[in-house]
Amino acid sequence: NRAGFVQHALFHRHLPDAHCIMHTHTTAGMAVSSVEGGLRPINFYACNFAGQIAYHDFEGVTVRDEEGERLIASLGNKRVMLLRNHGILVMGRTLPEAFIKHWSLQRACEIQLATMSMGRPLEVADEVVAVHQRDLHMAQPPGGPGAADFAAMVRLVDKRDTSWRE
């Protein structure tokens, strides 16, 4: 997969803290990345990401090395990106951290789609978003972001089929 390699190799080469990178083309992620304004602070999960999402304009399939530098520039110091008209990209220092970021971002996008289909959404005030993010940061679980959530998902998979461990 040339496109996947161009993107992921570049991020791994330039971002020493990006040990796990997840990139998907989900319906909700692609829809939110395709609207003006992107992800808006209109639900609990979206508030987790307010001010922390980078955006990169669609340039076609990512197979040209020269787009790589523009991706890095668009990302800046953030580790979550909505690729316009394309999808979701998250990075984590660990697999559990990337997993919980991706799961939460996907959920935020799903809720935004549902909310906007019903009418004009209520935006959460900036002051409330700031308190939410502060409290979320202070409530980090032992093991780091996503550790407990990822462990729970592994247990669910194990209940269905342990052959993946072989």
Tell me the average pLDDT across 74-102: 96
Tell me the average pLDDT across 56-75: 86
DSSP string, 58-88: --SSS--HHHHHHHHHHHTT-SEEEETTTEE
Q: Are 8 and 70 in contact (CB under 8 A)?
A: no
* H or E element that contains 46: helix 44-49
Q: Is 146 left (phi over 0), alpha (psi -120 to 50) or beta?
A: left
pLDDT tens digit string along 2-51? 777 777 888 889 999 999 999 999 999 999 999 999 999 999 999 999 99
Within 13 Å, how many C-alpha atoms sit on residue 136's CB side? Answer: 17
Band the pLDDT of 148: cuts 50, 70, 90. Answer: confident
Residue 105 predicted with pLDDT over 80:
yes
Percent of the chain with pLDDT over 90: 71
CA 16, CA 49: separation in Å to the nearest integer? 22
* H or E element that contains 143: none
pLDDT of residue 60: 84
pLDDT of residue 142: 75
Give the burial class of 55: count Cβ atoms within 10 A of its Cβ; 0-12 exposed, 13-18 middle, 19 or more buried.
middle
pLDDT of residue 58: 94
Could you state, in order of their start, the residue ranges of all structural domains in the chain? 2-165
Choosing among 3.90.1150.10, 3.20.20.120, 3.40.225.10, 3.40.50.300, the CATH entry for 2-165 is 3.40.225.10
Residue 112 predicted with pLDDT over 90:
yes
Tell me the average pLDDT across 68-90: 94
pLDDT of residue 32: 98
In sequence order, what are the beta bridge partners of 1?
none
Q: Which residue has the higher pLDDT, 120 or 7?
A: 120
